[in-house]
Amino acid sequence: MDFKQINAFVNVVKYKSFSRAADAAFLTQPTISAHVISLEKELGVILLNRNRGEAVLTEDGKKLYSYAVELMNIRDEALREVKKDVREDIAGVLSMQVSSVIGESWLPKHLLEFREENPFVRFFIDQSDSDIVENNLLAGQGDIGFLGKKPNAALGSEKVLTDPLVLICPKNEKYMAMYKKDKTISIKEILGENFIWREEGSATRRQFEKEVEKLGYSSYQWGMSALLTHIESIKKCVEYGLGISVISKISAYENYEARNYLIFKIKELNMSRDFYMVWNKNTVLSLPAQAFKKYIHDKVESK
C-alpha cells in the first residue's frame, strides 16, 4: 500500500463519488479509479461498491476505512512536526466547504491574497448552505469551512465577520417613493409582500423568521414567489420585480452601482449575522489548511 492509494480511497469515501474525489484532488477520475483498483487488488478484496455513480463501502471497506483515515492523519501530523522549523513553499490542494454569502462576497479576495504568498496551493471549494457545510465537515469532507451560524460544538471555530442583514426591493414606483423619503422601512409596509428566499437551510432566512416572530408576526403573513439556491439569482429576481428579499449587507452592496434594486434597513429589526471559520477537531489539518487557517486568523486579529 502507498499513500496515493490510501488517499484516493479515503477521498472517494468522503465524497461518495469517484468524480468528486478526483475534483477535490485535482486528478482525473481514471487516476483515482486506478489507485483504488490497485489497492483492492493488493488486498484481494473489494472495498467499494459502485452503485449508480455512488461509491458505497463494502464490509471489507468499512474495516479498512478507519485505519486509512488514521494513517492519513498520522502522515499529516508527521509532516507538520518535521517541517515546523523548515521554511519551504507550501504546496497541495486546500479543500473547503463554504456557505453562499461568505463564499461569494468575502472569501475570494482572501483566496487571491493567500495564493500570492503561496503560489503552489490550489483550492477546491464546495459551496452550499450553512447546514450542509457543517454536515460535510463533520463527515470529513473538506479541510476548512466557512458558515453563517453558530457552529456545532464538535467543530473548532473562529468568528471572522459580523455583517448586518438588509432588505432589497425592486426599483419600482412604490419603493422609489419610499426610498426618497427614508432609506428605512417598517414591517407593516411590507406585510403581504412576496419574498424570494433561499432554501430552509439558509441561516439568513431562519434568522429573519425568528426575529419577526419575536415581534408577534408570523412568516405566513408574507407570500413566497420563489425559492432559489444562489444569492446572485435572488438579487436578479428582485431586480426584475419578482419579489423582495432579506440578504447580507456585504452581498447587497457588492457591485451596487450596477444593480437595479434598492437597499433598506427594516426599522424594527436590528439583524446581523456572525460568520465563522470552522474545522473538524478530529482531523489533522493538511499543511495548506494550517497555513490558510493562520492567514485568516491573522487577518481577523489585525482588524
> How much is the pLDDT for 205?
82
* Domain that includes residue 26, residue range: 1-86
pLDDT tens for each residue of the chain, 303 residues long: 899 999 899 888 888 889 888 888 888 999 999 999 999 999 999 999 987 778 889 999 999 988 888 888 888 778 777 766 655 678 888 999 999 889 988 999 999 999 999 999 999 999 988 889 999 998 888 899 999 889 999 999 999 999 999 999 999 999 999 999 989 999 999 999 999 987 766 778 888 888 889 999 887 888 889 999 888 999 999 999 999 999 999 999 998 998 999 999 999 998 898 999 999 998 888 888 999 999 999 998 876
> How much is the pLDDT for 218?
85
Q: Beta-strand (E) ranges in 6-112? A: 48-51, 54-57, 91-99
Residue 286 domain-assigned? no
**Half-sphere exposure of residue 104: CA atoms within 13 angstroms, side-chain side:** 21
> How much is the pLDDT for 88?
67
CATH of the domain at 180: 3.40.190.10
Q: 126 and 96 in contact (C-beta within 8 Å)? A: yes
Q: What are the DSSP calls for 118-184, one per residue? A: -TEEEEEEEEE-HHHHHHHHHTT--SEEEESSPPPTTEEEEEEEEEEEEEEEE-SHHHHHHHHH-SE
CATH of the domain at 7: 1.10.10.10
Residue 108 domain-assigned? no
pTM above 0.85, yes or no: no
Q: Which of 230, 270, 268, 228 is nearest to 249 (CA)?
A: 270
Q: 15 and 53 in contact (C-beta within 8 Å)? A: no
β-strand partners of 49: 56
Domain termination residue (choose one: 65, 86, 107): 86
